[in-house]
Chain A
Amino acid sequence: MSGSTVQILEGNTFVVSDERGDIAASSTDPTGLFSFDTRFLSRWELTVNGDRLTVLSTDDLQYFQARFFLVPGTSTVYVNSTLTVIRQREVADGFHEQLTVLNHAGEPADLRIRLDASSDFADLFEVKDALKKAGQYETRVTGGCLVLSYRRETYVRETWISSTVPAEIDDNGLSFRVTIPPHGEWMTELDVVARVGAAEGTPGSQTGIPGQRRVRRNMARGLQKWLERAPDLQCDWEPLEQIYRRCLTDLAALRFSTLTMPDRSLPAAGLPWFMTIFGRDSIFTSLQALPFTSELAANTLRALAERQGTRIDDFRDEDPGRILHEMRYGELTAFEERPHSPYYGSADATPLFVVLLDEYERWTGDTALVRDLEHAARAALRWIDQYADLQGNGYVAYQRRNAETGLENQCWKDSWDSISYRSGDLPGFPRATCELQGYAYDAKVRAARLARQIWHDDAFADRLESEAANLKRRFNRDFWVQDGGYFAVALDIDGRQVDSLTSNNGHLLWSGIVDKSKARQVVRHLLGPRLFSGWGVRTLAEGEARYNPIGYHVGAVWPFDNSIIAWGLRRYGFKEEAACIVAGILEAAEVFAGRLPEAFGGYPRSLTRYPVEYPTACSPQAWSAGAPLLLLRAALGLEPQGDHLIVDPALPKRIGHLELLDLPGRWKRVDAFGRGRIDTDRRTSR
């Protein structure tokens, strides 16, 4: 997204416009009003007496609200303008725009104010891939409304545009002929409503999708309450306070509700293109945020359980017990040209679902939810054993069955070249990546605790523990790269190690699958010159054939990845090393004004001085916004133990004194304090 675009959103409805508030979408300029993964406006252009406007300033008032101060004409003449135009826009089930024109002259102003409107009703996937439409367009004027409509068989999407001041409406927009008295003003409100429906005479025409038309919430109050409920952070290092606030606000913006749970919100993956439920991203973000808010975790668990797989469906890569990867509502999904209804092609979301359930209970003590989701957790564990063992060797592996539109790499490093041998060659399929084994191990260990303490099934707990121990033993033998002193990124179908050195080793520490005797060697790599850039751990080590400092999963540094690695380092007692990651990533966050990008370049810190942002489509990204929260947990060594919260700080010196007040949990509210004592500069100045 270029710097001149403004995004505002609520739930899965969002507007991307230029800084004047105009929308003029083209294949290279993905602006518009989007809802339910469909573009409902591709043109929304304001003119006054035929002139486009020039921006004086743009305010993002809240994540769901923006205000544009404009003058008619091009920038060379605006200083002479006697008119000011103010557009204030708020997103709801479409958007609401208050348009005000001020006349500063001593003469009346005769104006023709015009809004050109049209829509291509593109599916989000089409916006990204520029595909052709199969249906028909229609425009009509009904009861003072301009209705833009798209129909393909029974599928209908409509945009209803109306104004409080009556307009002259034609097929291309709305016009107002007004005379504004000297020093007077004129105002109208415009409503743009996105409607999801079905063709008349078809079964769907009576109703559409239940829950689509939601009651408009008091969004401003919602954000205020969200911020007030969060623990209070105070710190000697000022940037951290800004980073913390930015994270909370971004996570608030990334909350959305599913149709099945209209009153509960969970984290979507990224703004604007990924405002939907993603199994993996929603789980990781919930894990990161758990010490600060448990609501996201509870709602994510419920929403994912509600859609857990129940059958074999090759197109959707669905199996019984599998947790979904991604859910979409657009035309391509509706006509089964894409499998996202929902799509299940993820090999990590299922074990991670169990991990989150246990971690959630450790923080909250909410045994009721753990009991409610007992069957879902058992089904997830069954999936690991019965459906994920695609290599027949007891390891979790993935291979898509939907070869056309399914995902090739069903792990978090999902780009085509992310899993490679040292030589740069790529393995065949199925692939058993290492972190999946860690997650499966952790899922079993944690489920054993739940089985023993909450489900009261000791036999099941015993079985899980013995399976986990067995998995750990075999894993440490089969994945350990003897001549490298680290774990291979994967096993290929021949059981051969895919032997490149990757950040996945850090996820293995987090999962606990690493033998204590091997941990030090792994840590030496994570903080060593090939993986650690000074800002953070690279996805792929320098020296590997595919290493590229600006390669998405082959060299870039991912804040989310690093937050998990820091947690993993703490788990194995490597406090100082964890503090180095905390320092590196938080200092990068400072450079990015508090908002960490999805990824940044893996260049050595001494070379670029500033982290180089990786150009991605989404910002903020949920698990990047969640990363500083998990880093704070790692820095303070927060760990629930029974009804108590252990605080064991290991802070970078720079942070100085840090207080985190009112941490919620089964202990009600607890304060955590720490003082920066660890000198991280030696390592981060690399």
Chain B
Amino acid sequence: MPTQRADSEKPAGDPVSSFFAGLAETGHVATFEGQSATVRLDVASRDEVERWHLTVSRGDVDVTREDRPADAIIRTDRPQAEAMVTGRLNAQAAILRGALACEGKMAAVVMFQRCLPGPPDSTGHATPISGETVMARIKAAQRRPA
């Protein structure tokens, strides 16, 4: 049983592969110019483990599928990995509740988290609230029995 899949064999439309391919294509992430770290994502599915190894060197980004040591290793399964790279799973909260495992340096884990996209349904906008609405809410809250 192979423990790695060659890039050419990965299923079309695989969000995990696309995510890492996107990072590799970028080649340089300005956000991490002050940082250098390596992170490995181990994704278990049935009997195999797929691995992506990310190197950040003062902002320069490199991705390989090789099984290399890293400053931090994040272990997860397919559904969670896909949810994570598409912004549907917040990695920090998942780590806190024990749903995602990581070992090594937390700083490298946090760096990886910051590469991930935000939730797909986040818009960045809130509907303005008028002063009248604010005052009406306060009056309603004051009328409500404690």
Partners in one complex: yes
Q: Which residues of A contact B (CB under 8 A)?
A: 152-156, 197-199, 202-211, 259-261, 305-308, 310-316, 318-319, 329, 331, 333-336, 341-342, 371-376, 379, 387, 399-401, 403, 416, 425-430, 492-493
- Stretch in B3-11, B13-21, B62-70, B87-95 with 4+ CB within 8 Å of A: B87-95
A390 to B107, CA, bound (A): 32
A351 to chain B, nearest CB (A): 19
A605 to B115, CA, bound (A): 54
**Are B118 and A376 within 8 A (Cβ)?**
no
Is the C-beta of B134 less than 8 angstroms from some C-beta in chain A? yes
A155: chain B residues within 8 A (beta carbon): 96-98
A312 to B118, CA, bound (A): 5
B93: chain A residues within 8 A (beta carbon): 333-336, 341
A261: chain B residues within 8 A (beta carbon): 107
**Are B103 and A341 within 8 A (Cβ)?**
no
**Are A329 and B122 within 8 A (Cβ)?**
no
B44: chain A residues within 8 A (beta carbon): 203
A198 to B98, CA, bound (A): 4
**Are B107 and A260 within 8 A (Cβ)?**
yes
Per DSSP, are chain A's interface residues mostly helix, strand or loop, or mixed? loop
B115: chain A residues within 8 A (beta carbon): 310
A319: chain B residues within 8 A (beta carbon): 124
What are 15 A-B interface contacts by the 8 Å CB criterion? A153-B98, A203-B80, A203-B99, A210-B103, A210-B106, A308-B31, A313-B90, A334-B93, A341-B90, A341-B96, A399-B129, A401-B123, A428-B129, A428-B132, A430-B128
**Are A207 and B101 within 8 A (Cβ)?**
yes
On whether A312 and B110 interact (CB within 8 A), knowing A204-B99, A209-B95, the answer reads: no
Most buried by A among B77, B97, B110, B117: B97
A421 to chain B, nearest CB (A): 9
**Which residue of chain A lies nearest to B96 when distances are taken between CB atoms in the complex?**
A334
**Which residue of chain B lies nearest to A492 when distances are taken between CB atoms in the complex?**
B131
B34: chain A residues within 8 A (beta carbon): 305, 371-376
A63 to chain B, nearest CB (A): 25
- The list of the 4 closest CB pairs from A to B, nearest first, reads A198-B98, A204-B98, A311-B118, A334-B96
**Are A153 and B97 within 8 A (Cβ)?**
yes
**Are A401 and B125 within 8 A (Cβ)?**
yes
A565 to chain B, nearest CB (A): 28
**Are B130 and A493 within 8 A (Cβ)?**
yes
B104 to chain A, nearest CB (A): 6
- Contacts A259-B106, A334-B93 aside, 16 further interface pairs with beta carbons under 8 A come to A154-B97, A203-B98, A206-B101, A209-B102, A209-B106, A210-B72, A260-B105, A311-B87, A314-B126, A318-B118, A342-B92, A399-B126, A401-B123, A401-B126, A428-B129, A428-B132
**Are A203 and B76 within 8 A (Cβ)?**
yes
B23 to chain A, nearest CB (A): 13
A150 to chain B, nearest CB (A): 12
Task: Tell me which residues from 108 to 146 in chain B have a Cβ below 8 Å from any Cβ of chain A.
Answer: 109-111, 114-119, 121-126, 128-135, 138
**Are A493 and B77 within 8 A (Cβ)?**
no
**Are B114 and A260 within 8 A (Cβ)?**
no
On whether A333 and B76 interact (CB within 8 A), knowing A211-B106, A311-B118, A312-B124, the answer reads: no
A198 to B125, CA, bound (A): 36
On whether A428 and B134 interact (CB within 8 A), knowing A203-B100, A260-B106, the answer reads: yes
Is the C-beta of B25 less than 8 angstroms from some C-beta in chain A? no
A310 to B116, CA, bound (A): 8
**Are B31 and A310 within 8 A (Cβ)?**
yes
B113 to chain A, nearest CB (A): 9
**Are A428 and B99 within 8 A (Cβ)?**
no
**Are B96 and A314 within 8 A (Cβ)?**
no
A403: chain B residues within 8 A (beta carbon): 126
A197 to B118, CA, bound (A): 26
A342 to B132, CA, bound (A): 32
**Are A313 and B118 within 8 A (Cβ)?**
yes
A488 to chain B, nearest CB (A): 14
A522 to chain B, nearest CB (A): 26
B33 to chain A, nearest CB (A): 5
A209 to B123, CA, bound (A): 31
B131 to chain A, nearest CB (A): 4
On whether A206 and B114 interact (CB within 8 A), knowing A335-B93, A335-B97, the answer reads: no
A341 to B98, CA, bound (A): 14
A430: chain B residues within 8 A (beta carbon): 126, 128
A333: chain B residues within 8 A (beta carbon): 93, 96
A210: chain B residues within 8 A (beta carbon): 72, 102-106, 109
A76 to B125, CA, bound (A): 65
- B95: contacting residue among A204, A314, A335, CB under 8 A: A204
B101 to chain A, nearest CB (A): 4
A399: chain B residues within 8 A (beta carbon): 126, 128-129
B126: chain A residues within 8 A (beta carbon): 314, 399-401, 403, 429-430
- B122: contacting residue among A198, A314, A428, CB under 8 A: A314
On whether A203 and B96 interact (CB within 8 A), knowing A311-B117, A375-B31, the answer reads: no
A208: chain B residues within 8 A (beta carbon): 98
**Which residue of chain B lies nearest to A156 when distances are taken between CB atoms in the complex?**
B98
**Are A426 and B135 within 8 A (Cβ)?**
yes
B87: chain A residues within 8 A (beta carbon): 311
A373 to B9, CA, bound (A): 40
A329 to B92, CA, bound (A): 9
A628 to chain B, nearest CB (A): 34
**Are B119 and A315 within 8 A (Cβ)?**
yes
**Are A310 and B106 within 8 A (Cβ)?**
no
Task: Tell me which residues from 52 to 82 in chain B have a Cβ below 8 Å from any Cβ of chain A.
Answer: 59, 72, 75-77, 80
**Are A428 and B90 within 8 A (Cβ)?**
no
**Are B98 and A401 within 8 A (Cβ)?**
no
On whether A306 and B110 interact (CB within 8 A), knowing A198-B101, A203-B75, the answer reads: yes
A404 to chain B, nearest CB (A): 12
A306 to B115, CA, bound (A): 12
**Which residue of chain B lies nearest to A307 when distances are taken between CB atoms in the complex?**
B110
B85 to chain A, nearest CB (A): 12
A341 to B114, CA, bound (A): 12
**Are B77 and A203 within 8 A (Cβ)?**
yes
A505 to B78, CA, bound (A): 54
**Are A203 and B122 within 8 A (Cβ)?**
no
B61 to chain A, nearest CB (A): 14
On whether A426 and B138 interact (CB within 8 A), knowing A203-B76, A312-B122, A315-B119, the answer reads: yes
